[in-house]
């Protein structure tokens, strides 16, 4: 018997190559985690360079460049946190992929900020602090710096913690706290603060109620009907017409403030005209889409997919137009104070809007998916019909609030609408007579079909089994309950947003005043 050769030790070269491979794997893993922060830091540096090309040689150039860098940082945080308003419901309903949704939102955020963002900057720039706080240009500059820094840090922490908060409330709180540090409590427009506080309660409740109302309408007129497809042909064009009119009014009130004089009557007329045109034009389109579809809920989802994509695009445009002010408003005030010594007539050049739009888009691309998953899939289960109700409710609530002059947060409304849809479904599952009759009739038909397939079968043997029905009903309720833990944590985050931003801004402003004034 031949003697077995001894096992040779692994060659030194192989050992070294394995070590190098392990080091490379570790480096790739570490680099992956640093890619997003590194990209964000690079954007802030490029923002400062971009701003310097416009202000070099002008008064206050260094201050303006620093303000631009802070505005870029704030804009990225807005994109990372507020993206849930635009695409969270549609991604959660699987009407679009995460990548497609982020790309769509990024493009329309930039377009909204650049094309229609200038008109809404003035409130943040000069509407919160009283004249006593803006008497000294240097005081105003450092107060706005403190407001931007505090708001950006707060939104950054909230995004890291997975809490969708209002960036509008953050920057308003920051400006308020900096104003108090500059000139005392008399420097704050307390009427505006009171309105914002009221909106904490009113806007999410209103969004939830409107979303639940539309979901009730969809269930009663389409989902729990004998012929779902025929009902959908009648009512889906109506719903899309309402959505089109709502977004047309939304953009007329908020998005196109640069091109149209703000008027509730004009916005209403535009909404009615656009809604009627969309309703009439989409009747043949929906009829063609409905051809050959089976009479089941899965088929209905196909009819709501395109409206959801369009709503995400329009919401992103309007969000870029409206919320760019949260980043660019303080910067516009700083530029005006540094160059002209006043902020009464703030001019917003295009390059400032470009910084805000690009920052919002980059922030949502780098850090947006976390909160998109939270709002779209972790609070309650969404499908295209429910997501459609959330999007429509968000637009309608903003329009109603704009008509009555109530300052609201689109974040609060969108998240409130998601909660409203989930809580309504809990109630409807237990209390709807139409649903009960529909399920009973369907169970009877299933029983009859099974009986026909069996030689000696009797109707009602298995599908009507009470224990099975009760188990299915329990499973339905268990799966679709709204997660109360998310509800409580989000509400708590909302409540502390403004006071936390104000307190942090007051501290930062006090330090800045002592160092630079």
Residues with Cβ within 8 Å of 259's Cβ and at least 6 positions away in sequence, in order, are 116
Using only C-alpha atoms, the chain has a radius of gyration, in whole angstroms, of 28
Angle between the 228-250 and 264-290 helix axes, to the nearest 10 degrees? Answer: 150
* Residue that has been written with the tokens 């908060």 in this structure: 165
CB atoms within 10 A of CB 135: 12
Residue 304's nearest CA partner among 89, 85, 82 is: 89
Phi, psi of 188 (to 5 degrees): -105, 140
* CB 204, CB 414: distance < 8 Å: no
Strands (DSSP E) contained in 323-437 are: none
In the structure, how many helices (H) and strands (E) does the chain have? 19, 0
Question: In terms of Cα–Cα distance, which of 478, 471, 467, 469 is closest to 443?
Answer: 469
The two tokens of residue 457 are: 């079968």
Contacts of 503 (CB under 8 A, 6+ apart): 177
Report the C-alpha gap between 331 and 126 in whole angstroms. 11
What 3-state class would DSSP assign to 139?
A: helix
- The per-residue pLDDT for 336 is 83
- Residue 316: exposure state from Cβ atoms within 10 A (0-12, 13-18, ≥19): buried
Three-state DSSP class for residue 465? coil
CA of 191: how far to CAs of 127, 188, 261, 376, 377, in Å? 11, 9, 24, 34, 37
- For residues 235 and 279, the answer to whether their CB atoms sit within 8 Å is no
Alpha-carbon gap, residue 425 to 189, rounded angstroms: 41
| The predicted structure's pLDDT at residue 155 | 92
Q: At how many degrees (to 10) do helices 410-431 and 384-404 cross?
A: 130
Burial letters 352-377, b for 16+ CB under 10 A, else e: bbbbbbbbbbbbbbbbbbbbbbbbbb
The first and second tokens of residue 151, run together, are 């708001």
CB-count burial class (<10 Å; 0-12, 13-18, 19+) for 59: exposed
Q: What is the pTM of this model?
A: 0.78
The token duo for 83 is 């993206």
Host H or E run for residue 49: helix 12-55
Nearest to 359 by CA among 156, 63, 51, 69: 69
With b for 16 or more beta-carbon neighbours within 10 A and e for fewer, the 437-468 pattern comes to ebeeeebeeebeebbeeeeeeeeeeebeeeee
Token output for 201: 């309660």
If phi over 0 gives left and psi between -120 and 50 gives alpha, with beta otherwise, what is residue 8? beta
DSSP 81: H
Helix (H, G, I), strand (E, B) or coil at 188: strand
Burial of residue 484 (CB within 10 Å: 0-12, 13-18, 19+) is: exposed
Contact between 39 and 48 under an 8 Å Cβ cutoff? The reply is: no
Give the Cα separation of 4 and 256 in Å (integer): 85
- CA–CA separation, 392 and 214 (whole Å): 8
Question: Residue 155 corresponds to which tokens in the numbers above?
Answer: 């939104």
Quote the strand ranges of 4-70, DSSP E.
none
Rounded CA separation 328/146 (Å): 14
Phi/psi region, residue 184 (left: phi>0; alpha: psi -120 to 50; beta: rest), is: left
pLDDT tens for each residue of the chain, 517 residues long? 455 555 555 566 666 666 666 665 555 555 566 788 889 999 999 999 999 998 888 888 899 999 999 999 999 998 888 766 778 888 888 888 888 888 888 888 888 787 766 555 555 655 566 555 556 788 888 988 999 999 999 999 988 888 888 888 888 888 889 888 888 887 777 777 777 777 777 888 988 999 999 999 999 898 888 888 999 899 989 988 988 888 788 777 765 555 566 677 888 888 899 999 999 998 998 888 888 888 888 888 888 888 888 888 877 887 777 777 788 888 888 888 888 776 555 667 888 888 988 998 898 888 888 888 877 777 778 888 888 888 888 878 877 776 665 667 777 888 888 889 988 988 888 888 888 887 877 776 655 555 555 555 444 444 444 444 444 554 444 454 677 777 788 888 888 888 999 999 999 999 998 988 7
Residue 425 contacts residue 219 (beta carbons within 8 Å): no
Q: Which two tokens stand for residue 238?
A: 């109506």
According to the model, what pLDDT value does residue 69 have? 94
């Amino acid at each position: 018997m031949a003697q077995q050769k001894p096992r040779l030790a692994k060659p030194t070269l192989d050992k070294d190559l394995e070590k190098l491979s392990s080091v490379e794997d570790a480096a790739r893993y570490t680099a992956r985690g640093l890619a997003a922060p590194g990209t964000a830091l690079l954007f802030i540096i490029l923002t400062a360079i971009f701003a310097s090309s416009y202000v070099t040689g002008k008064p206050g150039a260094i201050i303006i460049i620093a303000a631009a860098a802070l505005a870029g940082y704030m804009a990225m945080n807005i994109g990372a946190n507020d993206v849930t308003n635009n695409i969270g419901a549609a991604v959660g309903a699987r009407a679009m992929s995460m990548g497609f949704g982020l790309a769509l939102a990024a493009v329309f955020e930039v377009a909204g900020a650049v094309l229609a963002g200038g008109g809404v900057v003035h409130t943040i720039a000069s509407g919160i602090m009283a004249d006593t706080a803006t008497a000294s240009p240097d005081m105003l500059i450092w107060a706005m710096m403190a407001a931007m820094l505090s708001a950006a840090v707060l939104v950054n922490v909230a995004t890291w913690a997975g809490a969708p908060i209002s960036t509008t409330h953050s920057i308003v709180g920051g400006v308020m706290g900096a104003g108090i540090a500059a000139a005392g409590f008399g420097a704050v427009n307390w009427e505006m603060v009171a309105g914002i506080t009221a909106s904490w309660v009113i806007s999410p409740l209103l969004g939830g109620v409107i979303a639940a109302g539309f979901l009730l309408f969809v269930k009663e007129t389409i989902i729990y009907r004998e012929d779902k497809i025929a009902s959908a042909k009648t009512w889906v064009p109506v719903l899309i017409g309402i959505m089109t009119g709502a977004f047309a009014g939304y953009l007329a009130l908020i998005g196109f403030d640069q091109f149209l004089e703000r008027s509730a009557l004009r916005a209403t007329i535009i909404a009615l005209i656009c809604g009627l045109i969309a309703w009439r034009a989409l009747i043949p389109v929906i009829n063609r889409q409905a051809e050959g579809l089976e009479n089941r809920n899965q088929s209905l989802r196909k009819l709501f997919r395109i409206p959801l994509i369009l709503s995400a695009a329009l919401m992103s445009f309007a969000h870029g137009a409206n919320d760019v002010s949260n980043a660019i408003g303080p910067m516009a005030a700083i530029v005006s104070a540094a160059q002209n010594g006043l902020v009464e007539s703030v001019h917003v050049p295009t390059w400032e809007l470009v910084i805000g739009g690009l920052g919002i888009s980059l922030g949502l691309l780098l850090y947006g998916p976390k909160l998109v998953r939270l709002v779209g899939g972790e609070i309650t289960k969404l499908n295209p019909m429910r997501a459609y109700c959330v999007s429509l409710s968000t637009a309608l609530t903003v329009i109603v609030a704009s008509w009555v002059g109530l300052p609201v947060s689109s974040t609060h409304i969108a998240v409130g609408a998601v909660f409203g849809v989930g809580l309504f479904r809990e109630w409807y599952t237990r209390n709807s007579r139409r649903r009960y009759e529909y399920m009973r009739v369907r169970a009877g038909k299933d029983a009859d079909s099974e009986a026909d397939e069996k030689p000696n079968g009797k109707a009602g043997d298995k599908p009507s089994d009470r224990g099975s029905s009760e188990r299915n009903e329990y499973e339905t309720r268990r799966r679709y309950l709204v997660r109360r833990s998310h509800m409580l944590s989000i509400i708590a985050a909302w409540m502390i947003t403004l006071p936390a931003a104000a307190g942090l801004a007051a501290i930062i402003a006090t330090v800045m005043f002592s160092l630079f004034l």
